[in-house]
Amino acid sequence: MAKSILKEWAGRFRSEATGVSAKTEWADQLTRARNAGPRMTNQTTIDPARHGPGTLAVHAGTYNDPITGAVGTPVFAATTFLFQKESYEAFDQGMIRDYPIYTRYGNPNQWAVQEKVAALEHAESAIVFSSGMAAISTTLLALTNKGGHIVTARDLYGGSYNLMREDMHQFGREVTFVDPMDIDAITAAVRSNTEVLFFETLTNPLLKFAPVKALAKLAAENNIFLVLDNTFLSPCCLTPIDDGAHVVIHSGTKYLNGHSDLIAGTAAGSRKYLDMIWAQMLKLGGSLNPQDCAVLERGMKTLALRMKAHTENALALAEWLARHPAVARVYHPALPGYPYSWAAESLARGSGGMVSFEVKGGDKAGLKLMENLKLVHAATSLGGVESLISMPFNTSHSSLIDRQRREVGINPGLMRLSVGIEDIEDLKADLDRALGAIGDIRQ
């Protein structure tokens, strides 16, 4: 069975160099052909250029079992696979990522969901991880050297910011924080030892849309990696690889899985760069187990449908909140007056399911708002089918001091709302009742 799982791909695909830091000179000089995948025999491969995200989400990567005829990918609940001639050849040729040997190296369930991620991201290859933070930390360590430099922003998920602020210097990497919307400031921060630009495409929690195309141009001109966290948008709204990003990361916990019942992460990009990240993952141990891969693959099949509902609901709520007397300000990329003009073209497919807004009365009013919600849950995380609300000041950005929060625009009373797929009128009614309960609280 193991011998029949993988195709004979050697010599049929070759990764293309796109120009990156000195760390990847060895990769640019490689002449050995490599798989675009890894991919399996009987695995569904679909050309992303010829099919929409709904079709890709359902079909791409599915392993069609020749023995049982199972419609979905079976769960390969095995840690290890029988050695065969091809196993030893894989060790000898440095191709163990492409052959079933040991599940930490690769498993058919990993390959199935990775192919789905790669297809949706218009990428050559992908890797799944045990969490979004495993994806971020592994990718950044793989693509930088000791003595290297990373340019990033304080407008990041709290875990990412803490990694940058507290830990990267322990690994010998320098970090500079800049305004992610100021391409001149980002350019000025680039040094001779800069190896990575790391930003979120839509920032947490103020929904600032990064100048992705300008960042890609800057990265190309300076031979450095552009790594983008696309969690807030999903590949249904934006595929940064098409705009020149080298690696795109997701917390698979969020929209990709979409049901608040799984922790996972993904990275997608060129096979050459993903091989580097995969090798780092083996050492850090952040691989995703087969059972969770199966849950993620199942969740992703409805991604396009869910994102349509998330996006439509979020825009409707943003417009409604902007007119509500208890709301001081609303943040959403599709609202009139959104300050980042480059977003309109890039987000033509949708702006995602997030809305942030400030309530009159500050943090005290925001806390009372959450106490009075019935349908919308006050909880951390985002991207699930249910609507979730939180306040960044005491959750995702609690590690920032008041001054730092003000510097990035997190004002008192800021709410972060992950809009679910519920009926929009029910969501409005729930929010309206809770906003009314704030009463005459003042800052």
Burial class from Cβ neighbours inside 10 Å (0-12, 13-18, 19+) for residue 130 reads buried
- H-type alpha helices, 122-226: 132-142, 158-162, 183-189, 212-222
The residue from 63, 99, 157, 273 that is catalytic is 157
Residue 402 a catalytic site member:
no
Residue 406 a catalytic site member:
no
Nearest of 343, 361, 355, 410 to residue 382 by alpha carbon: 355
Angle 424-437/362-371 helices, nearest 10 degrees? 130
Of the CA atoms within 13 Å of residue 52, those in its CB half-sphere come to 7
Report how far residue 150's alpha carbon sits from residue 154's, in angstroms, rounded to the nearest whole number: 13
- H-type alpha helices, 151-243: 158-162, 183-189, 212-222
Residue 229 a catalytic site member:
yes
Element (H, E) at 196: strand 194-200
Do residues 317 and 431 lie in contact, with contact meaning Cβ atoms separated by under 8 Å?
yes
Residue 308 a catalytic site member:
no
For 114, residues 6+ apart whose C-beta sits below 8 A from its C-beta are 37, 38, 61, 125, 126, 127, 128, 266
Two structure tokens written together for 442: 């003042």
What is the residue type of 172?
Answer: G
The residue from 98, 155, 229, 292 that is catalytic is 229
Give the start-end residues of each E strand in 84-179.
125-129, 149-152, 174-177
The residue from 34, 154, 173, 254 that is catalytic is 254
3-state secondary structure of 73: coil
The residue from 7, 14, 23, 104 that is catalytic is 104
- Residue 126 pairs in a beta bridge with 268
Catalytic residues: 104, 157, 229, 254
